[in-house]
Chain A
Amino acid sequence: MSAGTDKLAVTVTNIVPLNDLVTRFEFQRSDGGELPTFSGGAHTVVEMRDGDITRLNPYSLMSDPMDQSTYAISVRRDDAGRGGSLFMHNRVRVGDRMVISYPVNLFSLDLRARKHLMIAGGIGITPFIAQIKQLAATGGRFELHYAARSAALASYADELTAHHPNNVSIYHDDQAQAIDLVHLLDGQPLGTHLYVCGPKGMIDWVRAKAADLGWPREAVHYEEFLAPQSGKPFEVKLALSNKVIEVGEHQSLLEAIEAAGVDAPYLCRGGACGQCETDVIGYDGKFIHRDHWLDDEEKASGKKIMPCVSRFEGKTLVLDR
């Protein structure tokens, strides 16, 4: 048995465009009941029914974790993506009914920390908004450093600065403002935990610098959701369920397995949590591994694939599903 998550039936109650790229969506339970509380850093997986295609995209919950009336997510429009964010921006209307998962937290605060030092880039701000609400309610000590392309694109920067003037610093790329990371990491009190969420380059930069300055691995936390990428269509045989399926150009392998009615476990749908790891029974071709769950040896072995983000090019692929 896989652990899995349960679903919540919700109604879209508010849609708030924040700037050219980012829009906030708010949900309440369709049956009028209370939503579960959650912990800062949690995400929900939103099911999008787009004609024949069902997409399931994870978004960080950014509402107050203690608020059981409403959940909020912020979606950045990705014009080059596979269409999930475009669907949210262009098709979803107030009053629509949607299905979302129970909250799942793969980026939780280490509650032992003496201080929480947060570094956000762009839309990577969203998990921190919920974490800051949690810390503010429980008296936790934090400091946020938030870099965005411009003042206009720095979603929630004004709100954060207004509520926590002494704990929040904003950096705008277009004004050549940059986080002075070495200076920032130097002199943090023992017991500080560092959190980073943003583009891959930023995460790599922060982790490398922290390691260089002698920060323990256990005190550095990061969340990077990969979005599945489009690619050439390919055919897969699912051995256990005895089905042959076609993975479309803009579909992930996991989505194609689900569309065929085959139950497959997942949590993050972003190549990070390991839950959807699938055994390869046979193949003739090459894998396009994009997850950061399998190690290099496993990727080279041709025995495992993470169907949420990875693809395949070649003649045959047989999976143990």
Chain B
Amino acid sequence: MTIQFNDETFRDDYSFHNSDRAIQRFPFPFHEDSYMYSVNMERHKGGPEGSVYEMRFDVDEHYLAEMKDRAMVLAEDPLRCQSLPHMTLAGWDLLELIMVSKSEDYPDLFELHREGSNWRWINRPMGIDQSFVFMDEASLPYGPMEYITRQAQGDFCILDQRDDNLWMDAGMVTTQADWSLDFDIGMNFFEWHAPVPKAHEMGIFVRALKFLLNIQQGSPARRLNWTLTVNPLLDTSPENYHKWGVQKTTLTPENLGRKQHLRVELQTFFRLPRSNALVFPIRCYLIAFEDLVSVPKWGRRLHRVLRDIPDELATYKGFIDNRPMLVDYLSQYDDGAETSPGVWPD
């Protein structure tokens, strides 16, 4: 299968778009007509052919455009990529994991040749052919984590495991749902989740942490998370909140279908072998409401979810002010028919 990469932007003229294939494989996150937090973990061992779950690291039509956007964000603000000194070994772990996975899963796009410590990495879509010495930082243009995550879609947090907790000690974070790596780096699992309402009281984080601490080599896990974003912005960072926050007020009933996007994060978790750290890739998928409602089940269900979600969550996810307009728009696509269980289109 050859992927046709889109020429598109996630800023300025927002030419981002999903092909029909991308719409059909969109990871719709609601398995029923309502939403509440849960520790919705499952093993990340493949999935239906062609789905975003099939490969360890999904590569899709947005790959090149996302990598361009990442490079722009980093040029503006290098603090989006940071690694505390003890995390270099984990960075090599991640580089190896991504290079091995991508070269096995997409042999037409990526190649990895290894002779002892002498490695050669070929990334065809990005036109990269790099020979380097594994575990020798001086042989790469960036540190190992930065090098490989400039070539991989989604954000990456590397979590050190110690004292029965996980510590956000390294990351590449340019497509985040309103949190700052520069601020959160060094925090433990409960601290970086501190601003999330309700979930602490529900015991969600205690259960999630217990699960994550026990993820083992060879047994990665995954879950979905979601929020809403006006305009197809990848970089909804707190750093730039004063630039994108105001865009939320530009929504009108006429432009809503085009401008309002559902933002879904495919979160995966892999134990890293050499460092015993955990890598937490957060892959962001965007879909415009007008594309989403082309799948009738999704249109009906999203209407019901957004209509009934508690105010506290609507506030935390940043759409409380626009909610009436969103629900009004979506109600056109909800005929009240019953929806089938599960996330897949009928």
Note whether A and B form a binding pair.
Answer: yes
> Does A6 sit within 8 A of B, measured CB to CB?
yes
Q: Which of A7-54 contact B (CB under 8 A)?
A: 36-39, 41-42
Give the contacting residue for B273; candidates A1, A36, A267; CB below 8 A: A36
Measured between alpha carbons, how far is A37 from B219 in the docked complex, in Å?
14
Measured between alpha carbons, how far is A105 from B93 in the docked complex, in Å?
15
Q: Are B86 and A38 in contact (CB under 8 A)?
A: no
Give the contacting residue for B89; candidates A38, A102, A111, A274; CB below 8 A: A111
**Chain A residue nearest to B85 in the complex (CB):** A112
Q: Are B276 and A102 in contact (CB under 8 A)?
A: no
Q: Are B216 and A37 in contact (CB under 8 A)?
A: no
**Chain A residue nearest to B217 in the complex (CB):** A102
> What does the 1/0 interface line of B71-95 toward A look like (CB < 8 Å)?
0000000000000011101000000
Known: A1-B43, A6-B216, A275-B214. A39 touches B274 (CB 8 A): yes
Q: How far is the CB of B331 from chain A (nearest CB, A)?
A: 36
Q: Are B161 and A6 in contact (CB under 8 A)?
A: no
Q: How far is the CB of B92 from chain A (nearest CB, A)?
A: 10
Measured between alpha carbons, how far is A275 from B211 in the docked complex, in Å?
9
> Does A242 sit within 8 A of B, measured CB to CB?
no
Measured between alpha carbons, how far is A4 from B43 in the docked complex, in Å?
10
Q: How far is the CB of B279 from chain A (nearest CB, A)?
A: 14
Give the contacting residue for A3; candidates B87, B161, B221; CB below 8 A: B221
> Does B195 sit within 8 A of A, measured CB to CB?
no
Known: A111-B89, A112-B86. A102 touches B216 (CB 8 A): yes
Q: Are A36 and B217 in contact (CB under 8 A)?
A: yes
> Does B199 sit within 8 A of A, measured CB to CB?
no
Measured between alpha carbons, how far is A113 from B149 in the docked complex, in Å?
27
> Does A301 sit within 8 A of B, measured CB to CB?
no
Q: Are A3 and B215 in contact (CB under 8 A)?
A: yes
**Chain B residue nearest to A274 in the complex (CB):** B210
Give the contacting residue for B41; candidates A1, A104, A267, A273; CB below 8 A: A1
Q: How far is the CB of B117 from chain A (nearest CB, A)?
A: 10
B41: A residues at CB distance < 8 A: 1
Known: A111-B89, A138-B89. A5 touches B276 (CB 8 A): no
> Does B160 sit within 8 A of A, measured CB to CB?
yes
Known: A1-B41, A1-B43, A111-B160. A36 touches B218 (CB 8 A): yes
Q: How far is the CB of A104 from chain B (nearest CB, A)?
A: 6
Q: Which of B198-220 contact A (CB under 8 A)?
A: 210-211, 214-219
Measured between alpha carbons, how far is A161 from B276 in the docked complex, in Å?
27
Q: Are B89 and A3 in contact (CB under 8 A)?
A: no
Q: Are A5 and B163 in contact (CB under 8 A)?
A: no
Report which residue of A2, A6, A104, A111 has the largest number of chain B beta carbons within 10 angstroms of its beta carbon.
A111
Q: Are A4 and B163 in contact (CB under 8 A)?
A: no
Q: Are A110 and B218 in contact (CB under 8 A)?
A: no
> Does B42 sit within 8 A of A, measured CB to CB?
yes
> Does B123 sit within 8 A of A, measured CB to CB?
no
Q: Are B276 and A218 in contact (CB under 8 A)?
A: no
Q: How far is the CB of B254 from chain A (nearest CB, A)?
A: 45
> What does the 1/0 interface line of A99-116 toward B look like (CB < 8 Å)?
000111100101110000
> Does B162 sit within 8 A of A, measured CB to CB?
yes
B276: A residues at CB distance < 8 A: 39, 41-42, 105, 108
Interface size range on A against B: 20 to 34
Q: Are B274 and A5 in contact (CB under 8 A)?
A: no
> Does A170 sit within 8 A of B, measured CB to CB?
no
Q: Are A111 and B216 in contact (CB under 8 A)?
A: no
> Does A121 sit within 8 A of B, measured CB to CB?
no
Measured between alpha carbons, how far is A41 from B275 in the docked complex, in Å?
11
Measured between alpha carbons, how far is A319 from B274 in the docked complex, in Å?
38
A5: B residues at CB distance < 8 A: 216-219
Q: Are B274 and A102 in contact (CB under 8 A)?
A: no
Q: Are B219 and A3 in contact (CB under 8 A)?
A: yes
Measured between alpha carbons, how far is A153 from B89 in the docked complex, in Å?
35
> Does A88 sit within 8 A of B, measured CB to CB?
no
Report which residue of B160, B210, B214, B221 has the largest number of chain A beta carbons within 10 angstroms of its beta carbon.
B214
Q: How far is the CB of A245 from chain B (nearest CB, A)?
A: 25
Q: Are B273 and A4 in contact (CB under 8 A)?
A: no
> Does A198 sit within 8 A of B, measured CB to CB?
no
**Chain B residue nearest to A109 in the complex (CB):** B276
Report which residue of B41, B86, B162, B276 has the largest number of chain A beta carbons within 10 angstroms of its beta carbon.
B276
Measured between alpha carbons, how far is A1 from B276 in the docked complex, in Å?
22
Known: A37-B273, A218-B163. A3 touches B218 (CB 8 A): no
Give the contacting residue for A65; candidates B43, B219, B221, B274; CB below 8 A: B274
Measured between alpha carbons, how far is A102 from B217 in the docked complex, in Å?
6
Q: Which of B147-183 contact A (CB under 8 A)?
A: 160-163
A110: B residues at CB distance < 8 A: 162
> Does A280 sit within 8 A of B, measured CB to CB?
no
Measured between alpha carbons, how far is A41 from B210 in the docked complex, in Å?
20
Chain B residues with CB under 8 Å of chain A are 41-43, 85-87, 89, 135, 160-163, 210-211, 214-219, 221, 273-276
- 25 A-B pairs with C-beta separation under 8 A: A1-B41, A3-B211, A3-B214, A3-B216, A5-B217, A5-B218, A6-B217, A6-B218, A6-B219, A36-B273, A37-B273, A38-B273, A39-B273, A42-B276, A102-B217, A102-B218, A104-B217, A105-B276, A108-B276, A110-B162, A111-B86, A111-B160, A112-B85, A267-B214, A267-B216
Q: A39-B275, A102-B216, A108-B162 are in contact. List 8 more A-B contacts (CB 8 A).
A: A1-B43, A3-B215, A3-B221, A4-B219, A5-B216, A66-B274, A110-B162, A111-B87
